[in-house]
Amino acid sequence: MEFDFDQKTKIIEKRFGSNLVYQEHLLRYYFAKTFVKDKFVLDAGCNIGDGTIILASRAKKIFAFDIDSTAIEYANKYFKTENIYYFVKDACNLDFKDKTFDVVVSLEVIEHLLEQDKFLYELKRVLKDDGIAIISTPNKKIIKIEGSSSNPTHLKELNYPEFKRLLKKYFKKIDFYGQKRGRGVVGYTNYIHKIIRLFDFFRLRTFFSQNYRNKISDRLAKLTGAKRPQDVCLEDIKISKFNVGSCRTIIAVCKK
């Protein structure tokens, strides 16, 4: 589904804060899309449905829910197709029958929940025995290293080892992927940050405000090849199995 410039701008400003975060969000859904052809899918924590509709172009049928009723109203108005069914639900208390779905997708949801074990139990319960669960979360360690501001709606962030241990309690086979920002987004600032941390023995960087450090990082990014934030596109963000622990976002493809 295509949107005019004004509508897309409103979505970005209200729901994502920046075009960069929006493009990262979309790429995760395009990644999940490769697993849903002709499948019966659950999108757990769908928000406004702009990602759900990406899945709908390949899936047989999608049940999508969010706890935010306003978001679901928006989804029904702008991101509805014949094979999508939207609901308002609590992710930790699903009323679907056991082994209902071929694929469960839950992207950037688990960090918003305190009852993470209950959430994963529910996802596993509604997943068929031969099904796939695709779950992602921001990597707490890398976000802090790169100096990003914390999100107040994140109730329990996880680093890579924590996320891995948690998922292994519920799934026997897990393939991990990492999503990171390419040179078109950050230039060479990732390397610069690592060098600074390596030689800043006395943690002098902590004497500067987060806002000041962010401004310096943005300036370095521009000087080393980064695009303007509004010009970033899907091709400037990468998902791969390489060096997952050092990526900003971790994506797990899980099987029972």
At 101-136, the pLDDT tens digits run 999 999 999 999 999 999 999 999 999 999 999 999
In this structure, the number of other CB atoms found within 10 A of the CB of residue 255 comes to 14
The residues that bridge with 107 in the sheet, in sequence order, are 136
Residue 45 is which amino acid? G
Contact by Cβ (8 Å): 251, 30: no
Residues 51 and 137: their CA atoms lie apart, in Å, by: 16
**pTM of structure:** 0.84
Scanning the structure block, which residue is given the tokens 């990644």?
31
Number of alpha helices (DSSP H) and beta strands (DSSP E) in the chain:
10, 8
pLDDT tier at 139, thresholds 50, 70, 90: very high
Q: Which of 128, 100, 93 is nearest to 255 (CA)?
A: 128
Percent above pLDDT 90 for the chain: 65
Q: Which residue has the higher pLDDT, 218 or 59?
A: 59
CB 158 within 8 A of CB 137: yes
In DSSP notation, 184-229 reads HHHTTHHHHHHHHHHH-TT-GGGGS-HHHHHHHHHHHHHHTTPPPG
* pLDDT in the model for residue 17: 81
Superfamily of domain covering 5-184+236-255? Vaccinia Virus protein VP39 (3.40.50.150)
pLDDT attached to residue 63 = 98
Q: How far apart are CA 213 and CA 227, in angstroms?
A: 19
Residues of the chain with CATH 3.40.50.150: 5-184+236-255
**Edge-to-edge strands, sheet with 237-240:** 84-88, 61-66, 40-44, 101-107, 127-138, 249-255, 173-181, 237-240
Q: What is the DSSP letter of 37?
A: T
Tokens of 135: 């779950």
At residue 214, the pLDDT reads 67
Question: What does the block give as tokens for 240?
Answer: 């791969």
DSSP state letter for 11? H
231-254: per-residue pLDDT in tens? 888 999 999 999 999 999 999 999
Beta carbons within 10 angstroms of residue 203's beta carbon: 8
Instruction: Decide if 121 contacts 127 (C-beta within 8 A).
Output: no
Q: How confident is the model at residue 6 (pLDDT cuts 50, 70, 90)?
A: low
Does the pLDDT value for residue 7 go beyond 70? no
Q: Is the pLDDT of residue 26 over 80?
A: yes
Would you state the pLDDT for residue 138? 96
Nearest CA to 153 out of 27, 23, 45, 28 is that of: 45
Residue 24, pLDDT > 80, answer yes
pLDDT at 74: 93
Q: Cα 192 to chain center, whole Å?
A: 25
Report pLDDT for 59.
98
In this predicted structure, the answer to whether residue 177 has a pLDDT above a threshold of 80 is: yes
